[in-house]
Amino acid sequence: MINELDFTHDPARKSWVVSANEATTDFPIQNLPFCMFSRAGDAPRPGVAIGAEILDLGAAARLGLFDAEAAAAIDCCNEGLNPILALAGPSATSLRHRLSELLGADRAPGGTERLLIAQHDVRFHLPAQIGGFTDFFTSLYHTERGGRVTRPDNPVPANFRSMPIAYNSRASSVRISGEDIRRPLGQRRRPDGEVHFGPCESLDFELELGALIGKGNDLGEPVRIAEAGERLFGYCLVNDWSARDIQRWESFPLGPFLAKTLSTSVSPFVVTADALKPFRVAAAERPPGDPKLLPYLHDEADQQSGGISLMMEAYLLTDSMRADGAAPYRITRANFRDMYWTFAQMVAHHTSNGCNLRVGDLIGSGTVSGPTDDSRACLAEIVGSGDSISLPNGERRTWLQDGDTVVFRARAERYGYVPIGFGECSGRIIPAISY
């Protein structure tokens, strides 16, 4: 994994876009995440977030501001960023360099300011055409807490420490941040043993980080761990909405199905692997006694810099809080650096049997939980520990109620570098349909 920094990471670098230089922005010139957006009456098109603005990439390309390869990719982004994701490697880095040059304070705008659109004036769309969605299960702390409830004699399955565990989720129900989440219907087995069909009574969120594949692989050709990280173009926030009561009843013997396919929310901005280079850290240390990594999952460079220091937060806003003008209340704060497996290991394992990944495929990290109580990254962990959420207005929550809005935020910070953020990933629960 190559982790060299360049001029785009320079903490002294500023933009002529004034809002990009504010200390609180998620999108300084050191970030430059991609997105798909539209204005009223227009078709979706690709853009780059800079401060409180969006740079219209299509308009910039038509003015001849990019090289032929980048311009061709931008021109093909009619339904998603896939052509840009496919640039990967040096071509993606070259595009980042050009964007930083165009937006840098050391260069006069030269009319480029006319290509900016305020973020509050646009509608965001799914960042990519997602053909496949695989959700992993890579937090030891999440596994331990959940296992104490469902498998008290063996809370952490032996295979968890040997390989990154995952299941194939549903790409068709991945939705952009801000869309409502319909409370699902399903079968539930009640304590008296009777099985009922009706609205989910234990609706949950899961705070996750998602990775989007930039360069795929051919069927039958595994991706070696040393190059697996280079297949990842960038990252977004993911909320893997989960119906826990439905999940408990349906999961044996094949695992979750309807409990996990009701909807998955993703944030609109794709923060590139290049942008996150200053925030790379060593992979999480494996506890004493854990099995040695099998060779196909071990790469020294990945062990040294396969982790990401990314603080991730979940907030809750109820209807009552909204009516009172209250702000969302933080209920979870966890760091992605605590994850047991790296994204490179996930890709290497996913493809080890020859499974082919394609441009735009979404890889979910699984719930990003940490060792402390305030880093429990889903309600199942909180409820399973015998706790509930106490909100500032006196309301309490064990599970999500209709009208509740869950908001995710994330920010990468490191001393000596400019922090970068991911924007928000949000969804509001609406009532189940009559059935």
Instruction: Give catalytic residue positions.
Output: 142
CA gap 166, 363 in Å, rounded: 10
Q: How far apart are CA 307 and CA 348, in angstroms?
A: 15
Instruction: State CA 258 to chain mean position distance.
Output: 21
What one-character-per-residue DSSP string does 362-420 give? EEE------SSGGG--BHHHHHHTT--EEPTTS-EESS--TT-EEEEEEEE--TTS--E
In whole angstroms, give the CA distance from residue 321 to residue 397.
13
Q: What is the DSSP string of 321-336?
A: HHHTTPPPEEEEEEEG
Measured CA distances, 281 to 91, 136, 335, 405, 413 (Å): 25, 20, 12, 32, 12
Q: How far is CA 143 from the centre of its chain?
A: 19
Residue type, 387: D
Answer yes or no: is 221 a known binding residue: no
Classify residue 206 by its DSSP letter.
Answer: B
Is 227 flagged in the annotation as binding? no
* 247 known member of a binding site: yes
To the question of whether residue 338 is assigned a binding role by annotation, the answer is no
How far is 253 from 262, CA to CA, in rounded Å?
20
In 57-191, DSSP assigns E strands to: 116-118, 123-125, 133-137, 165-168, 174-176, 181-182, 185-189
Complete DSSP assignment for 234-269: EEEEEEE-EEHHHHHHH-TTT--STTTSS-EEE-S-
Q: Is 208 annotated as a binding residue?
A: yes
206 is in an annotated binding site: yes
Residues 226/229/230/231 CA torsion (nearest 10 deg)? 110
DSSP state of 188: E
Instruction: Give the tokens for residue 26.
Output: 């998620």
Please confirm whether the linkage preceding 253 is cis (ω < 30° from 0).
yes
Name the 3-class secondary structure at 115.
helix
Tokens of 123: 């509608």
367 annotated to bind ligand: yes
Q: Residue 35's beta-bridge partner residues?
A: 47
- The response to whether 264 counts as a known ligand-binding position is yes
Cite the annotated binding site for Ca(2+) by residue number: 135, 206, 208, 240
Cite the annotated binding site for Mg(2+) by residue number: 240, 260, 264
Cite the annotated binding site by residue number: 135, 137, 151, 206, 208, 240, 247, 260, 264, 367
Cite the annotated binding site for substrate by residue number: 137, 151, 247, 367
